[in-house]
Amino acid sequence: MTSKHPNLNVTESFEESVVSKKIEESIEAEIEEEGVASRSTENPIPRVVLRPNTYSLLDGEWKFSLDQEDRGIREGWYLGHKYEHTANWPGSVEDHMAKTKGELESTPAWQDKLIAWYEREFTRPEKLESGGKRIYQITFGACGYETRVWLNGRLLTDVEGGDVHYGEYNSFSFEINEDHLLPVNFLTVRISHSMDAEVPRGKQESHVYKRGGIWYQTYTGAVRSVWLETVERNRLRSRVGVQGLIEDSLVRFNFTTRIQDPGQYTLRLNIFERNAPDDATPIATSDYELRLEAGQRSQYVVIEVPDAELWSPEDPHLYKFEAQLIDSSGYASEIAGHFGLRKIEARGRHLYLNNQEIYIDGILYQPGTATYEEMKRHMYAMKELGCNLVRVHIAGIDPRIYNLADEMGMLLWVEVPSPHSSTRRSRANHKIELLRMLALIETNPSVIIWSLYNEDWGAQDIATNPETRQYIMDTYHFMKIRYPQFLVVDNDGWQHISYEGKLKTDLLTAHLYTPKLGKWKKLLDKLTAGEMEGVAVLPLVIGDQYFYRGQTPLIVSEWGGFGFSDYGGPEGSEERTQRILDFKRELRKRRIAGDVYTQATNIEEEKNGLIDFHTGELTVPPGILSTKGSDFDAKPSKRLLKKKKSE
């Protein structure tokens, strides 16, 4: 394929910036002689699906000012303002505030509401050609919670039609009218955030939950990269759904088209082996004729991949897709990504991956303020611990981590960052955040489980409010129809919903914390016997009467926490190792489908991690959380402890 895009050639105003030079070198390395993006699996920008266009990262040094009195819009800062500080993008507002200390006599406290402004300049990119087929677009990897963006003093409207973007976990874009570009351009961003308990915030502090214990500092603002890129006026958006039907090697794709010029188009889909050379012949190809009106719409297509190999943790086989939208003149836009064929089921007491029973050896992961490089180290370390699943705990992460999990063969359990109060507005915000997440990571075979809520945070009235239960049930049913490739948990930990005696969750999960082995055995016995009360902190099931007889897989989705004062247990590495092995052995003696140890790394006051946050080094023996191939009756603890001592 020959690219029809010129290089952007955006000149940085900060000419001495080392970051700028590295960005230019990175772009040059990834653009081939004819301007085609490299097919390397290394992805330089934080998104899952890529397009073979040209782009320029706008990361680096930006001007920065706080606006705690909310004067900026009224005084027209987007038209011109003297900024007091500089800040590196990406980075959190909290970090940027901390670095202003010493430059100001006092830094305004971030106690209830935070407003910050950022601005940078860039020179005009090259003029686009090819008959107005292409436009420029600015994309933010993640920013928020409320984000407004101006270009040369002109307020931009995002692709979804909003003047304000709400959310802080997922990407959003602005199409740029080329006529509005000047020889030197100013990009101005206003970010507003608050302690509002009705917005999705995960474990960040709020008006309801103050910082301390398991509640963390806010980490918001300019948290992921921003870039300027070329896109087609009529194109496929970089959000693709993939559902594999492994029994007949069929793959169902869901593409989103964005059309400015109505007419007849051809959607061409090519499938390759993941590491196929550039001149490889597709192993499957198909054309789909579409009559498209102006606007945005979704389109499902199905393609057969002959003799398809399945994706699994043991053999994470991936395929590559290239999809083109071709207009009547033959001009094409293109996106590319990868996918894997896999099937996950909850059947009776067990989980089945590709029709084979699987036991979940999981770990709870809270990325906190980790950088992308640190998160990568964490992922490899969790694999070294023997985990086949990582539960990403009510947090947003760099989308490239999902791609990394696909390549490593690591299963993922993802969760919607929860609000902290239960209201109609909080439920509406929760649904929007869920849909944003689904739209951007639906291609990844590693993602097998979604939690809607955790421990009823943001749904505290789940046992007493029919509206709350109805929302969760409706969302569960929507997920099962629209996204059958995932298992869905209604409220992880306890208070699962029963309606007419049937659970509105695919898994019956429980959070069990005790440092005492005797009590641990009793809790597991109660759980597997089907007792709904006296097991977790709150009843396991609420709503209508529910009778457990082995019809749903049991998952102990949080346990351990050894080292954290609130959970108790050993703090020393050797004693902790023995305790983990003893507790794990009891899990495997019972009819349980999986477990998730708490947790991967230390986060603020939660000192219960098994991995060094910065280096990724293990503080316990490798393989300690794996049950695959281990004979627990043979007391493998002695072998692991001996290995630990020898190290």
Q: pLDDT tens across 348-383, in order?
A: 999 999 999 999 999 999 999 999 999 999 999 999
Domain 344-611 in the same topology as domain 235-339: no
Q: What is the dihedral of CA 246, 251, 256, 257, to 10 degrees?
A: 180
Distance CA(260)–CA(31), nearest Å, equals 28
pLDDT digits (tens, 9 = 90+) for 549-569: 999 999 999 999 998 888 888
Q: Kindly report the average pLDDT of the chain as a whole number.
A: 89
Whole-Å CA distances, 53 to 8, 177, 241, 439: 10, 18, 21, 21
The architecture of the domain spanning 55-231 is: Sandwich (2.60)
What percent of the chain clears pLDDT 90, i.e. is strictly above it? Answer: 79
Distance CA(516)–CA(49), nearest Å, equals 47
Cα Rg for the chain, rounded, in angstroms? 25
Distance CA(83)–CA(95), nearest Å, equals 17
Q: Which residue in 252, 240, 355 sits closest to 305, CA to CA?
A: 252
Mean pLDDT of 71-91: 95
In the predicted model, is pLDDT for residue 111 greater than 80?
A: no
Cβ–Cβ under 8 Å, residues 249 and 307: yes
In eight-state DSSP terms, residue 610 is S
pLDDT digits (tens, 9 = 90+) for 485-513: 999 999 999 999 999 999 999 999 999 99
In the predicted model, is pLDDT for residue 35 greater than 90?
A: no
Distance CA(484)–CA(495), nearest Å, equals 23
Cβ–Cβ under 8 Å, residues 486 and 346: no
Domain at 235-339, CATH from 3.40.50.300, 1.10.240.10, 3.20.20.70, 2.60.40.10:
2.60.40.10
Give φ, ψ of 439 to 5 degrees: -65, -30
In the predicted model, is pLDDT for residue 644 greater than 50?
A: no
pLDDT of residue 180: 92
pLDDT digits (tens, 9 = 90+) for 415-459: 999 999 999 999 999 999 999 999 989 999 999 999 999 999 999
Confidence of residue 525 (pLDDT cuts 50, 70, 90): very high
Confidence of residue 126 (pLDDT cuts 50, 70, 90): confident
Mean pLDDT of 158-167: 94
pLDDT of residue 647: 44
Q: What is the dihedral of CA 457, 95, 148, 12, to 10 degrees?
A: -140
344-611, CATH topology level? TIM Barrel (3.20.20)
Instruction: Please identify which residue in the block is written with the tokens 């299963």.
Output: 411
In the predicted model, is pLDDT for residue 632 greater than 60?
A: no
In the predicted model, is pLDDT for residue 181 greater than 60?
A: yes
pLDDT of residue 11: 40
pLDDT of residue 101: 64
The two structure tokens encoding residue 59: 């990361």
Domain coordinates in residue numbering, the chain: 55-231, 235-339, 344-611
pLDDT digits (tens, 9 = 90+) for 298-342: 999 999 999 999 999 999 999 999 999 999 999 999 999 999 999
In the predicted model, is pLDDT for residue 5 greater than 50?
A: no
Going by C-beta distance under 8 Å and a sequence separation of 6 or more, which residues neighbour residue 8? 54, 55, 56, 125, 126, 228, 229, 230
In the predicted model, is pLDDT for residue 465 greater than 80?
A: yes
Mean pLDDT of 159-179: 94
- 0.85 exceeded by pTM: yes
Number of residues written out for the chain? 647
Confidence of residue 412 (pLDDT cuts 50, 70, 90): very high
117-131: buried (b, 16+ CB within 10 Å) or exposed (e) per residue? bbbbbbeebeebeee
pLDDT of residue 9: 43
pLDDT of residue 534: 95
Distance CA(425)–CA(199), nearest Å, equals 8
In the predicted model, is pLDDT for residue 609 greater than 60?
A: yes
pLDDT of residue 38: 32
Q: Given CA atoms 242, 43, 384, 390 in this order, what sign does their dihedral have?
A: negative
Going by C-beta distance under 8 Å and a sequence separation of 6 or more, which residues neighbour residue 404? 376, 379, 410
Enumerate the β-bridge partners of residue 167.
none
> Helices 424-440 and 466-482 meet at what angle, rounded to 10?
10
In the predicted model, is pLDDT for residue 17 greater than 80?
A: no
Going by C-beta distance under 8 Å and a sequence separation of 6 or more, which residues neighbour residue 636? 581, 630
Whole-Å CA distances, 37 to 121, 299, 306, 442, 451: 26, 26, 28, 23, 36
Cβ–Cβ under 8 Å, residues 27 and 9: no
pLDDT digits (tens, 9 = 90+) for 573-582: 899 999 999 9
Give φ, ψ of 135 to 5 degrees: -135, 170
Cβ–Cβ under 8 Å, residues 386 and 626: yes
pLDDT of residue 138: 97
Going by C-beta distance under 8 Å and a sequence separation of 6 or more, which residues neighbour residue 600? 363, 364, 365, 366, 378, 381, 382, 390, 609, 610, 611
Mean pLDDT of 603-626: 95
Distance CA(41)–CA(60), nearest Å, equals 24
Q: Establish whether the linkage from the previous residue to 68 is cis, with ω within 30° of 0.
A: no
Task: Assign 222 to helix, strand or coil.
Answer: strand
The two structure tokens encoding residue 318: 């991936």
Encode 357-394 in three state secondary structure.
Answer: EECEEEEEECCCCCCHHHHHHHHHHHHHCCCCEEEECC
In the predicted model, is pLDDT for residue 622 greater than 90?
A: yes
pLDDT of residue 130: 62
The two structure tokens encoding residue 32: 């081939």
Question: Would you give the distance in Å from CA 344 to the centre of its chain?
Answer: 19
Distance CA(647)–CA(577), nearest Å, equals 14
